[in-house]
Amino acid sequence: MPRLTFPVAVHLFLVKDNKILLLRRFNTGYEDGNYSVIAGHIDGGEDVFTAMIREAKEEAGISIQHDNLHAIQAMHRKKADEERIDYFFKCSKWDGNITIMEPDKCDELIWVEIDNLPCNIVDYVRAAIVNYMGNNQFTIYGWQQTSANDFYLVSPSSGHENQYQEMMDEWEAHQAQYGGWFNPGALRRYSSSQKRTVTYAEWLKWIEDDRKAGQELYFFMSGEKIIGAITIRPKKNAQNIGLDGHCGFGIRPSERKKGYATKMLNMALPIMKNHGINPVVITCDKDNIGSAKVIQNCGGLLVNEITSEKTGNPVQVYHINL
Ligand SMILES: CC(C)(COP(=O)(O)OP(=O)(O)OC[C@H]1O[C@@H](n2cnc3c(N)ncnc32)[C@H](O)[C@@H]1OP(=O)(O)O)[C@@H](O)C(=O)NCCC(=O)NCCS
């Protein structure tokens, strides 16, 4: 039987005070929109320390001395039908200014409190950070099935296509029974009725373009299943907030009234806080009792009631202070 060979990657925890440097993936086709750390595969013909020093230079423009790089964790990871070995390093001393060196693959480098990580982190990287804080040096990941009790937010990626299609089919099939339309609106553009003309890959491209323009979409997951989605609009401010507000959300029909929208909005609030949004402005049609309750459950205070110019219907404006 042929011997297995595994891809090997190196990951850098650049740590300063109580903060860790995260890198937001962009345009790579893998986990785009989610945070990871400086990382890469070993090229061959280089040891893992050399590979890590090279990646730090290539991705963030910094120089690290070998003595300042500490191996802190090895992870044996299972991902679908593939196995991988990941090495994690810690460094608190480097030369040079941290700079985005590969803007075609990364659109943000950000320091975050290590014990207050954003929701949208690549899952095994989050696990590695948690292991690091627990001083665990040898870890395994992905060998157990994700449990349906694991709830998380994630940016749409190519791996979600089947789940997404299934959710949209359900959503469309239940229109008559449940009323209401797809929400957030970014889902609408890839509904079943459009799928003959729009591929999932094209839809993903739209979502990526939206993100550049200031609108982020996250799936709310329970294990492997998409339960709903939420849009965040970090570029909205007091001048241009309009009736859109900072976010819009929806839960697939079969999963409503189980507390999921409340859970999803609560999980999205730290992302908005990271964007510097405060207060979060959310609007909802006055007769959308479920939506109003979700907002109130998350600390929303009714501050205004206005009439929509588009529909003539009353719209409530809520603020959530972060
Ligand atoms: C509105 C919506 C997001 C609520 O999702 P959900 O997962 O059912 O909400 P939750 O389970 O967290 O419910 C929160 C509260 O609202 C209540 N609620 C939910 N839907 C309700 C409805 N249709 N009528 C009355 N109350 C409702 C729940 O009973 C719960 O009450 P509680 O806090 O007193 O226990 C969902 O119905 C939906 O996706 N609708 C279509 C899209 C939409 O309208 N989005 C909001 C636009 S901003």
**What is the arithmetic mean of pLDDT over 260-283?**
91
Residues flanking ligand 1, CB < 6 Å = 180, 183, 248-251, 256-262, 284, 288-291, 293-294, 297
What is the Cα–Cα distance from 305 to 281, expressed in whole angstroms? 13
Q: What is the topology classification, in CATH, of domain 151-320?
A: Aminopeptidase (3.40.630)
pLDDT digits (tens, 9 = 90+) for 30-56: 888 889 999 999 999 999 999 999 999
Q: What is the pLDDT of residue 179?
A: 46
Q: What is the pLDDT of residue 172?
A: 79
Whether residue 115 is predicted with pLDDT greater than 50 in this model: the reply is yes
**What is the arithmetic mean of pLDDT over 253-279?**
91
Q: What is the pLDDT of residue 177?
A: 52
Return the ligand 1 atom nearest residue 251 CA: 39
Give the residue, out of 151, 170, 178, 293, with the most ligand 1 atoms within 8 A of its beta carbon, to mutate for a pocket test. Answer: 293
Q: Report yes or no on whether pTM surpasses 0.95.
A: no
The neighbour count for residue 140, using CB atoms within 10 Å, is 12
- Which residue has better confidence, 292 or 276? 292
Give the residue, out of 168, 251, 264, with the most ligand 1 atoms within 8 A of its beta carbon, to mutate for a pocket test. Answer: 251
User: What is the Å distance from ligand 1's center to 243 Cα?
Assistant: 19
- Which residue has better confidence, 188 or 28? 28
pLDDT digits (tens, 9 = 90+) for 11-25: 999 999 989 999 999
Answer positive or negative: Cα dihedral of 220, 224, 227, 228.
positive
Q: What is the pLDDT of residue 145?
A: 65
Q: What type of residue is 218?
A: Y
pLDDT digits (tens, 9 = 90+) for 288-302: 999 999 999 999 999
Domain 8-141, CATH homologous superfamily name and number: Nucleoside Triphosphate Pyrophosphohydrolase (3.90.79.10)
Half-sphere exposure (Cβ direction) of 114: Cα atoms closer than 13 Å: 19
φ/ψ (deg, to 5) at 309: -65, -30
Q: What is the pLDDT of residue 178?
A: 47
Decide: residue 149, CB within 10 A, 0-12 exposed, 13-18 middle, 19+ buried.
Answer: exposed
User: What is the Å distance from ligand 1's center to 283 Cα?
Assistant: 14
User: What is the Å distance from ligand 1's center to 73 Cα?
Assistant: 43
> pLDDT above 90 covers what percent of the chain?
53
Residue owning the nearest CA to atom 43 of ligand 1: 250
> pLDDT above 70 covers what percent of the chain?
93
pLDDT digits (tens, 9 = 90+) for 59-109: 999 999 999 999 999 999 988 778 999 999 999 999 999 999 999 999 999
Give the long-range contacts of residues 116-119, CB within 8 A, separation 24 or more.
Answer: 116/270, 117/22, 117/35, 118/22, 118/35, 118/270, 118/271, 118/274, 119/152, 119/153, 119/218, 119/267, 119/268, 119/270, 119/271
Give the residue, out of 241, 257, 318, with the most ligand 1 atoms within 8 A of its beta carbon, to mutate for a pocket test. Answer: 257
Residue owning the nearest CA to atom 29 of ligand 1: 257
The two tokens of residue 119 are 């929701």
User: What is the Å distance from ligand 1's center to 291 Cα?
Assistant: 5
Bridge partners of 21, per DSSP, are 111
User: What is the Å distance from ligand 1's center to 280 Cα?
Assistant: 19
Each domain of the chain, given as residue ranges in start order, spans 8-141, 151-320
